[in-house]
Amino acid sequence: MGESGGKCMFLGTFEHSIDTKGRLTLPSKFRGKMDATVFLSRGFEGSLEIRNEQEFSMWKQELELLEPFKKDTRALMRYIFSNSADLEIDAAGRIKIPTNLLAVAKIEKEVYILGVGSKIEIWDKTSYDQYEQDNFSDIEAIAEKIDNVGG
């Protein structure tokens, strides 16, 4: 992303608003790490996800390694790729989010923009507040459960 074209690290949580034309200004901290074109996809748990071309291509390749004859694989591929768009970042650092993606993420105005490692998540503010309340109350137990999977 950005000048290096390599992996980026996105960190932090930012509150922003969608304007009446469906445009979102990306945090200035993130813009310097991004190419002029980004890929926006429907995420999980109600989020939208932004990746650079390299990350999106790697993700696509991983998904294409899944068994194509399985119904669940085809459903996942449809879910992701039919709800994705390549977007240009304008001179003001904004992207125009397609109306279908605003609708599936239940985004109306106020959003959180989260840096999540190599990708960025966009959440409706109310939805994320509820998600956080429902899922982060015992993060230690979640971390322990994940750690025990490999051991």
| pLDDT value of position 151 | 53
Give the pLDDT of residue 100: 96
Longest dimension (CA), the chain: 50
Per-domain residue ranges of the chain = 10-150
Pick from 149, 31, 6, 144: nearest CA to 89: 31
Spatial contact of 77 and 61, defined as CB atoms under 8 Å apart = no
Global pTM value: 0.87
Q: What is the CATH number of domain 10-150?
A: 3.40.1550.20
Summarised one tens digit per residue, pLDDT across range 31-86 is: 888 989 999 999 999 999 999 999 999 989 998 899 989 999 999 999 999 999 99
